[in-house]
Amino acid sequence: MMRETENTTTINQLSQKEKNLLELLERRWSPRSFSDEKIPPEIIVKIFDAGRTMMSSFNEQPWRIIFASKDDAHYNKLFECLGEFNQKWVKTAPCLGVVLGKKHFTKKDKLNRHRFYDSGAFMAASTLRATSLGLFVHQMAGFSPEKVTEKLNVPEEFEPLTMFVIGKKAAPEQLPEDLQKQECENSDRNEVDEFLFGEQWDVSYTSSDKNNSDE
């Protein structure tokens, strides 16, 4: 696909695109109550096709995915890799996956310390695509990378980074009682001022002298 190089977008179209993006960002969250409705493989491909568009260091695209629908023979192998807490709620979701990162750059045979960062960007874009399709993604750090490597015969060059489920959300009532409350609460976010700094560490960029000066 060719890049759009000409500035043909009008202000109105731009603001509609911006609205669409903001709406997606607002709609995304990580539910734990999933419906068991199966997600067709072509939808799964669409979701990760969005991740494919992401930038990565040296365009390495270090991400890989092992995916299983509940009716696939290897689903249980993946499920057994989850920590006890995650197994409690993941069991209703129709599928399960793991994101893996390639440890070295292919062309340079050098450690790729950006593999986590790039794979996170890949999952962020994929997650937003899932959101646009009316689906939800919930990622998990609570699993054993060693078990994934062993049970799924992952080559030494690849490292399991996060697991995830994708699906339609369901009513909170199907969750164990201790998880129902969290399901209904918004998760907190830091304000931009708390992480956007200028010259001085921990001093907001927008409140620094330079930006407040009347000169």
Ligand X SMILES: Cc1cc2nc3c(=O)[nH]c(=O)nc-3n(C[C@H](O)[C@H](O)[C@H](O)COP(=O)(O)O)c2cc1C
> Which residues of this protein are in contact with ligand X, per CB under 6 A?
29-30, 32, 86, 139-142, 162, 187
State the Cα–Cα distance between residues 202 and 200, nearest whole angstrom: 6
Cβ proximity to ligand X: between 44 and 90 the closer is 90
Cβ proximity to ligand X: between 121 and 208 the closer is 121
Cβ proximity to ligand X: between 112 and 119 the closer is 119
Residue 147 φ then ψ, to 5°: -65, -40
Least distance between ligand X and beta carbon 121 (Å): 12
Helices and strands of the chain, counted as H and E runs: 8, 4
Write a three-state SS string for 142-171. Answer: CECHHHHHHHCCCCCCEEEEEEEEEECECC
Cβ proximity to ligand X: between 40 and 176 the closer is 176
Least distance between ligand X and beta carbon 12 (Å): 30
Least distance between ligand X and beta carbon 30 (Å): 3
Question: Which contiguous run of DSSP H or E holds residue 96?
Answer: strand 95-102
In sequence order, what E strands does 40-80 have? Answer: 63-69
Least distance between ligand X and beta carbon 83 (Å): 7
Question: Which contiguous run of DSSP H or E holds residue 138?
Answer: strand 136-140
Cβ proximity to ligand X: between 5 and 187 the closer is 187
**Cβ-proximal residue to ligand X, closest one:** 142
Least distance between ligand X and beta carbon 196 (Å): 20
